[in-house]
Structure 1
Amino acid sequence: MKKIFITAFLIGTFSLGYAQSDYYNDYRRSVTDVNWQTVITDLLLSTTQANEINSLNRRYDDYDGWNRVYANNPDRWSTDRYSELERIMGRDKYAKFKTKYYKGKNPVAVYNRNKNNDKRYKHMDKKAKSYKSNNGKAHKNK
């Protein structure tokens, strides 16, 4: 019984850590995938706005700092980050930013679109469809 409990505990711990590191990777991509100097120049942001954006981008340089804030709700990072960007830029400039870099979509949706699209299980879908189409006849053709 102890072995089963320990195994379940370890699996839960490692899978939770893996899932949260995926969220952190999305967070880091939201910082690194955009050339912020170009954004600042294109939107004619003030020095104060540029400093606030740079400070926001440096807020969680490592996983531990990010995890202290978002451990209980890792999905919240995107809402927090993009509402802060909207506050810094202002509504009009934020709308221009969204249009140019996220094709008008909400950046939160951009980073969450692949959460339920796990590639590790894609091959299972084909097997399930072929099994359903055969209605179990594949087992009788031995």
Structure 2
Amino acid sequence: MKKILIALMLAGTFGLTYAQSDYYNDYRRSITDVNWQTVAADLLLSVVQTNQLNALNDRYRDYDSWNRVYVSNPDRWREDRYYEIERILGREKYTKFKTKYYKGQNPVAVYNRNKNNYKKVKVQKAKVYKVNKKNGNHH
């Protein structure tokens, strides 16, 4: 019985770790998918603003440092990060940033949608398989 309980606990831990790493990967993409030098040039950012953005982008250099902050609420990185970007840029430049790099959408919503798209694709594949199975096709 103890072995089963330990196995279940380990499975739960690995499942959580995988989910946490997905959040961290989104966090990293929020940094690497944007050319921050271009952002600074396009928005005519001051040296201070550019340095603050660079410091924000370097805040969590690895998974462990990020995870220490977001272990209990991995979703929170989005709000924290984009609140900080808005604070650094100011409302007007932040709006220009969203328009150019996120097609006017709130970046928080963009990354939430990415998370949900993965789930939808997984569900759709499962449904297609079940439909084919009913029709006698086992592809």
> TM-score, normalising length from structure 1?
0.87
Aligned residues: CA RMSD:
1.6
Q: How many Å separate the matches in 1 of 2:113 and 2:131?
A: 24
Aligned equivalents of 1:99 and 1:4: distance in 2? 52
Matches within 5 A, 1:48-127: 48-116=48-116, 117-118=118-119, 119-127=121-129
Long gaps (5+) in structure 1: none
Q: State the distance in 1 between where 2:101 and 2:130 align.
A: 38
TM-score when scaled to structure 2? Answer: 0.89
Please give the secondary structure, in 1, of the residue aligned with 2:61.
Answer: coil
User: 1:120 deviation in Å?
Assistant: 4.5
Q: Which runs of 5+ in 2 are unaligned?
A: none
CA deviation after TM superposition for structure 1 residue 74, in Å: 0.2
- Point out the more displaced range, 37-46 or 121-130: 121-130
**1:102, distance to aligned residue in structure 2 (A):** 0.3
Aligned residues: 134
Question: How far apart are 1:19 and its partner, in Å?
Answer: 0.3
Q: Tell which structure's C-alpha radius of gyration is larger.
A: 1
Paired-residue identity, %: 66
| 1:18-53 deviations in Å (ceiling 9; x for gaps) | 000000000000011100000000000111000100
